[in-house]
């Protein structure tokens, strides 16, 4: 864990407290144990979890710098990334995790209970469904996702959840710049405006990584997101 603490400070200016380090160690232990039974993530070693899950989640702080979100929704969170590490960083943040796979949603609930995290909701549903729920539509400072879908599709998942004046964040690999270009029309249609791409460096990871950030400038039209499955079949790129 010493390396994680050092790299979080060096790369992202994050100072982890003793309590936060203990929470991350517990999270790591539970993920390794559950992974043996349920195949939650392809990363199965402690070093990989610390770099490719925890540090990668922490990279989101580059998007908001000194103004962390008061509310955040993480779409397609899987085993809780990036949402749960960010909740450990910001205990007062209201967090919603959206996950369509039951065993992954159950693991997230288990971690929330084990770490006694407050103001966290885990929703076992598809993003298209949550985006049409009045309690969640345009209700968050930030809507984030990692490795869920191509950006024109992801924009339709995320922008309906961000409040006007809020923003969305997609964690992307080498394809980030190309995807951002292809998604500009979709973002405009959905009430968003591409702000910037932030390069991310992770120790021992050669692949280029980016945070793709877009502002929510006007309300999303009521007919978006479309029915489950439709954004993936007919992306808003033409």
Is 13 a member of any domain? no
What domain count does the chain have? 1
> Alpha helix locations (H) across the chain?
2-12, 18-38, 46-48, 56-58, 61-64, 83-89, 102-114, 127-130, 151-158, 176-189, 230-233
Model pLDDT for residues 5-53, shown as the tens digit of each residue: 999 999 999 999 999 999 999 999 999 999 989 888 888 889 999 999 9
The domain that holds 83 is classified in CATH as: 3.40.50.150
Q: What is the mean pLDDT of the chain?
A: 95
Is 198 a member of any domain? yes
In the chain, which residues have pLDDT < 50?
A: none
Is 153 a member of any domain? yes
Rounded to an integer, what is the distance from CA 217 to the centroid of its chain?
Answer: 20
Residues 70, 43 contacting (CB under 8 angstroms): no
Residues listed for the chain: 238
Give the per-residue pLDDT at 147. Answer: 76
Q: Which domain holds residue 211?
A: 66-233
Is 17 a member of any domain? no
Is 6 a member of any domain? no
Phi-psi region of 217 (alpha: psi -120 to 50; beta: other; left: phi over 0): alpha
Give the per-residue pLDDT at 94. Answer: 98
Q: Mapping DSSP to helix (H, G, I), strand (E, B) and coil, where does residue 118 land? A: coil
Is 79 a member of any domain? yes
Give the per-residue pLDDT at 238. Answer: 62
Nearest to 184, CA basis, from 194, 172, 176 = 194
Give the per-residue pLDDT at 140. Answer: 98
Distance CA 79, CA 198 (A): 24
Is 9 a member of any domain? no
Share of the chain above pLDDT 70, in %: 100
Is 87 a member of any domain? yes
């Amino acid at each position: 864990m010493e390396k994680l603490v050092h790299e979080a400070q060096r790369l992202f200016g994050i100072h982890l407290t003793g309590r936060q380090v203990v929470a991350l160690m517990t999270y790591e232990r539970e993920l390794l144990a559950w992974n043996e039974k349920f195949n939650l993530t392809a990363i199965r070693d402690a070093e990989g979890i610390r770099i490719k899950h925890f540090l990668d989640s922490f990279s989101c702080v580059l998007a908001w710098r000194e103004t962390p979100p008061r509310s955040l929704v993480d779409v397609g969170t899987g085993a809780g990334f990036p949402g749960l590490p960010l909740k450990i960083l910001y205990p007062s943040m209201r967090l919603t995790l959206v996950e369509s796979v039951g065993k992954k949603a159950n693991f997230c609930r288990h971690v929330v209970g084990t770490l006694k995290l407050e103001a966290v909701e885990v929703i076992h549903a598809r993003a298209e469904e949550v985006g049409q729920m009045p309690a969640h539509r345009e209700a968050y400072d930030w809507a984030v996702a990692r490795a869920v879908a191509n950006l024109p599709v992801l924009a339709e998942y995320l922008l309906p959840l961000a409040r006007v004046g809020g923003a969305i964040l997609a964690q992307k690999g080498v394809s980030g710049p190309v995807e951002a270009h292809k998604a500009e029309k979709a973002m405009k249609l959905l009430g968003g405006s591409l702000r910037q791409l932030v390069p991310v460096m992770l120790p021992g990871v050669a692949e280029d990584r980016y945070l793709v950030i877009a502002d929510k400038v006007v309300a999303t039209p009521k007919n978006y997101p479309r029915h489950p499955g439709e954004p993936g079949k007919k992306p808003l790129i033409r």
